[in-house]
Every structure is written in structure tokens, then in C-alpha cells.
Amino acid sequence: MLELREYQAEGVEAVFSEWRRGVRRTALVWATGLGKTVGVAHIAVRHLAEQPRGRVLMLAHTTELVDQAISKMRSVAPGIRVGRVQAQTNETLAKIVCASVQTLRSENRRRMIRDVSLVIVDEAHHAVASTYLAVLEHYGCMGVEGGALAVGVTATMMRGDEKALGAVWQSIAHEVTIGQGIADGFLVRPRGLHVTVDDLDLSQVKMSRGDYNEGQLGQAIEDSLAPQAIAKAVAEHAPDRKMILFAPTVSSAEVIGDALSASGRAVGLVHGGLAAGDRKRVLDAYRARETTILASCRLPTEGFDDPETDGVIFGRPTRSRGFYIQMAGRALRPYPGK
């Protein structure tokens, strides 16, 4: 059974304290790499010990996050049945059900999961979306009493748009920042290098939901010398590092990836448009070091865990502090020799 670090134990206790004082929907905000899924797995186990007739439902929005949740739940609770509800898989009788929120858009699928007394929301900053709200309302989480309790977990309780997260989450029970994680030795201390691209003009790129419009930003990057400047900087400063490249569009990820490949690096391309099996093959190749740069369009910002990763290429400017933190966090997990 995976044991809790001191701050994780404090966070678990803080969640139960919030519930005891009448808060029904609370959240943990722990920086990327600090073990959010392990923490909520312990919350699930303790909740079931207190309410043995209940059932725990954990919501996630990507296959990778559902896989991660199932793995951690089984590690923390080897004696409790953990099931999946996603696409054609319908293990609704498990005590802990890890489900895709897209699957639970269907009211019929929601009705099959009965006696839910706790809903866990992974990447809780998404919870204001209508798909999440439909699930929370179905199980009574949005009511005052009588419905299921809820706990959300995220690295960044912020969004690029103006939707108010306070409409869902009544409190933040416990928070651990990247700075705290670094100071306590649970995350590595990063070093940053800034690459200047003289002909990259962002003055004509419009803003959308608090950040640069991704399509226009991607085109501006492709039309500039940014791909070549990135490849040159990586060759000079990080020739042997295992890195994730973040780009604003699939096309710009491909163009920057091609520049990195031309410089001699083995590059894999991953994005949300890939079929699940193809996505898994690309991620597995990166984990196995068959490729050493993962060129991506957003996908690995949430739920991707590879402690060997020791570099991030910010191949996209951003005005979103939350998104920047999500990207940076992918490389901060400790690893021997890192």
C-alpha cells in the first residue's frame, strides 16, 4: 500500500475536516508531481471505511488519466474492487469506479452507477464544464445535503476563461505550490533559458479566453524562424535531455518536430486527434527512450507521468499562468541523477 507523505496526510485530513464542518464540495491544489492521485486514493479508501455501503466515482477526461487513476487506486487499495466505465467497458459494480466524463454524458450510463456517496474530480479546474456539472448534479453533489460528497484535485485552480470555479468548489482544503514542493525536496529545482526569435510577431495574434488564439499563434510560429531557433537552442543547451515540446497546434508541433528531427533528435508526435492505441504507442516509445523528444499539442499537460523527463520546450508563448505551471511541472519530478 502506497504510504502518504506528511503534506499528503495533512491534505487528506483537511478534506475530511471540510466535510465535517458542512462543506460538501472541496478541493486539493497540489503542484504537478506531488502525488494528487495517491492522495485522493487514500481519501476514497477512508471514505469507504466510514460509509461501507457507499461507492466512490472518480471522473477524468482522458484515457491516460483514467488509466492512472485505476493504477493508483489499486496500489493504495489492493483489497477493494476498482472498475472502469469508459466506452464499451462498464464495470459499474466496483466499489471504486474510475470513469470517463465523456462516457457519463449519457444519463443512462450514469444511472447504472448506483449508491455513489463520493465523487472525485481529477483536474478539478474543468468542473465548471456542462459535462462535469451534469454528473455532479446527478449524484446530488450540488445540493446542500443528502447527496454525494465531492472532492476535486488539480495543480492549478485557475482557468484561462472567466468561468468562476467558486460556483462548483466551495473551498480549497489544502494547497501545496511548486515552490513549496521544490523547497521540501519533492520536486527538482528548474533552470530556464530564454530563446529570442527576432521575426516572431505576436502583435497581430488575437486573444481568446485569456490566452493567445491557438490557431493564429501556431501560424505565427510556423511563419517565423522559431522552429529553427528552438532546434538550435536544444542542440546547444540540452543535447542529451529527454524533453517534452509544447506547441499551440498540431501543425506547429509537426513543424518544430521536423526541425528537431533534422538536428538529429528522435521525435514522437502526440495530440488529441490520435486514436487511443496510436497515442499509447507514441507515449510508450517516449517512456522507453526510443524517442527523446515528445512533440505535443497540449495533451501531456495533464495526467502524463514520466519522471525521467528532464526538460520542457515551451514552443508556444502563453499568457495563462495556470497553463504555464502545468507545462513546467512535467519535468519537475525527481529521478536518480536528475
Give 164-173 pLDDT, tens digit per residue. 677 899 999 9
How far apart are the C-alpha atoms of 318 and 238, rounded to whole Å? 22
Report d(CA 56, CA 8) in Å as an integer: 19
Compute CA distances 227 → 213, 220, 224, 231, whole Å.
19, 11, 8, 6
Higher-pLDDT residue of 158, 139: 139
Answer yes or no: is pLDDT of 1 > 80.
no
pLDDT of residue 144: 65
Distance between first and last Cα of the chain = 26
Q: Give the pTM.
A: 0.87
Reported as a pLDDT band with limits 50, 70 and 90, residue 189 is: very high
User: Each residue of 235-257: pLDDT tens digit?
Assistant: 999 999 999 999 999 999 999 99
CA dist 287 to 68, 284, 293, 297, 306, Å? 15, 5, 10, 18, 7
Q: Which helix (H) or strand (E) holds 198?
A: none
Q: pLDDT (tens digit, 9 = 90+) per residue, 68-121?
A: 899 999 999 899 999 999 999 999 999 999 999 999 999 999 999 999 999 999
Would you give the distance in Å from CA 328 to the centre of its chain? 12
